[in-house]
Every structure is written in C-alpha cells, then in structure tokens.
Chains A and B, each alone.
Chain A
Amino acid sequence: MQQPPHSSRRQFLGLAGGVAVLGAVPIVTISPAEATPAMLASAIQQVTGGAAVKTGKVKLDIPPLVENGNTVPMTVSVNHPMAPEDHVRSIHVFNEKNPQPNIANFHLGPHNGRAQVSTRIRLADSQKIVAIAKLSDGSFWSVSVDVVVTLAACTEDVI
C-alpha cells in the first residue's frame, strides 16, 4: 500500500511535468521564420533599387486595432493624378513580422483613373505595415501604419 503523501507528491510532479510539456509544445510548433525589420528593409530595397523613398502621397486605410488577423480589410490609395505622362505605376505593400515581408504588389497604369486598391490581408502579429507607391517619374512615396492584432494568423496549427 502506498503512503498518501508520497503518492500525492508523485502525482503533483507528474502533473507539473505534463503542464510544462504542454506549455512547451506550442512554443516549438508556432515559432515561425518571422520576417525581421532587416527583411522588410531588403524587400523594400528590391522594389526601389536603393532609390530614396519619400513620405507622403500614399494613404493606407487599415483598422488600428484588429481582433482577427486572418482577414484584415485594407485600402491603399495614392493622392496623385493618373495622367498618361504622370501616373502611379505600382503599389507595394509590406509587413514587418509575418513569415514573409511581402503582402502584395499591384501594377497600375493611367487607364485606372484612380490609384486605389483594396484587399484583405493576414497579420501574424501586432506590427508595422508599409505601403510604397512607384510613380511614372521614378520616385517612390510611402506611408507606414502600426496595427495591433489580438488573434494572429498565418502560422496557427491546423485543427
């Protein structure tokens, strides 16, 4: 016959070990290859080719507080005319902490009339979103917005 104190101590240790394992497993499986600010910078560098990026002209509409990172509505608009001789060539959207720094590239032309696109994106963490517009004269304009995410997307386990 087992002694009550002994058995309860054993049970406690077993339970504590189990809890520790349970706690450790999600940390291992969730750890993604997270994009770093350096990856963000290099992704931007690939688009701009090292050209200077000015702040302004671009407007990024995204909720500042996101409950569900799986689908976040986002609208990017560029306050610039869309004339054949002077228009927005492309809009690039980047993030800081998803597994990949790129979100989307949109290619436009003067026939679009208005430089505005909307889509729904995923956000893996509270982070900074950067939108960059390339104009036909070769200049780049950007805006960055900080977003707080309560439920992360991209890397959660499949149930």
Chain B
Amino acid sequence: MASALINVPPKAKRGDIIEIKTLMSHIMETGYRHTASGELVPRDIITSFICRFNGSEIFRADLFPAIAANPFITFFTTVTESGKFEFEWTGDQGFSDTASASITVE
C-alpha cells in the first residue's frame, strides 16, 4: 500500500540482527482537541501494530494517542531463514492496513 513505508534490508547473513523501520500514514487524532466552535474532535488513532515473519508474530506494539502522527516504529530482529515480513496496523473507526517485505538470507 502506498500509505505504508517499510525499510527491510533485502539481504542478510544467517544470524544477523537487522533493523526494521516502518512508517504508516495516519492522522493519529488524539481525541483531546477541539474545533474553533468548541466541538471535541473524536479520537482516531492506530491502536495496534503487529509484525509477523513467515506467519509467526515477532513484534507487537500497543499505541496510544501520545504517538505522533504517521506512526514511525523501528525494531530489531534476528534472521535465520529467508522469508516474508508481514506488517499489520489496526485502529479506531475500522482502520486496518497491511504491508509486507521479503528478505533473502544467505
């Protein structure tokens, strides 16, 4: 999807620790802001981010309104085999988006 940016090295050696960077385009409306007419803007945030490698979960984050707009999350993982990373974001108002990236392990 165009709304997600993923940075995973295309190749790695077996046993390497690699860094994965993810950015999802999202307003992350806190639910604490008011419009000029005094109405509360309803909360609209991503509440959960999950990364799976070849189907098994390797990283999960619970997000709160204190996460800045367009959530940027980086983390590390050890690679032992070639495969596919799948990323999933879910949030308020039925928001759900996915992305994936492959890695070749030598």
Contacts and interface: CB of A to CB of B under 8 A. Distances in A.
A72 B75 CA distance: 17
A36 interface: no
B8 interface: no
A130 to B, nearest CB: 12
A114 B76 contact: yes
Interface in A136-159: 153-159
A155 B67 contact: no
A117 B32 contact: no
B6 to A, nearest CB: 15
A79 interface: no
Contacts of B73: 117-119
Given A111-B78, A154-B30, A103 B36 contact: no
Nearest to B41: A158
A99 B32 CA distance: 8
Interface in A84-111: 95, 98-100, 102-109, 111
A98 B31 CA distance: 12
Interface residues of B, number: 30
B51 to A, nearest CB: 10
Interface string B60-77: 111111111101111111
B69 A71 contact: yes
A153 B33 CA distance: 10
A118 B63 CA distance: 13
A5 B11 CA distance: 83
17 contacts: A29-B38, A32-B32, A71-B68, A102-B64, A103-B64, A107-B61, A111-B53, A112-B78, A113-B77, A118-B74, A119-B67, A119-B74, A120-B68, A122-B30, A154-B33, A157-B34, A157-B35
Interface of A: 29, 32-33, 70-72, 82, 95, 98-100, 102-109, 111-114, 116-123, 153-159
